Amino acid sequence: MKKKMNAQLVANGINLTGTQISILAFLYDHQKTVTQKEIELKFKISHPTVRGIIRRLVALNVVETTTSDQDRRQILLMLSTQGQKFMKENLKIIQDPAKKMESRLRDNIRESDYEIFQQVLHQMINNLQ
């Protein structure tokens, strides 16, 4: 599924991975600074992996980083002006493949069954934490 989503992004001229796009979308939705730790927790990605993703996004000039005044170990992330422009221009292109994938996954599944599935899945995830 991940490979298919990445291929759809590339086909639409977006040369970023699904994870990179997800982080950009998270920053775009929050419209404030977010800590690197928040990204790690939200996406359940290790510190070194997030650090590498952020370095690549900074190199592409779509994300800016600063350190917290209160704790110099904390890395604060925000979309750059170019990153905000990219998200505004490409939001529909980014969201469409995800919506299509979700629609395909939910084919022939009643809404009530899907809601039960979500509840059970969330409980299973909570059990692992």
What pLDDT, in 10s, does the model give residues 1-38? 566 665 666 555 667 888 898 999 999 998 888 999 99
In sequence order, which ranges of the chain are alpha helices (DSSP H)? 2-11, 18-30, 36-43, 47-59, 81-106, 111-128
| Structural domains in the chain, sorted by start | 2-128 (1.10.10.10)
What pLDDT, in 10s, does the model give residues 89-112? 888 877 777 788 888 889 999 999
Q: DSSP secondary-structure letter at 74?
A: P
Write down the pTM of the prediction: 0.72
pLDDT for the residue 6: 59
What pLDDT, in 10s, does the model give residues 39-50? 999 999 999 999
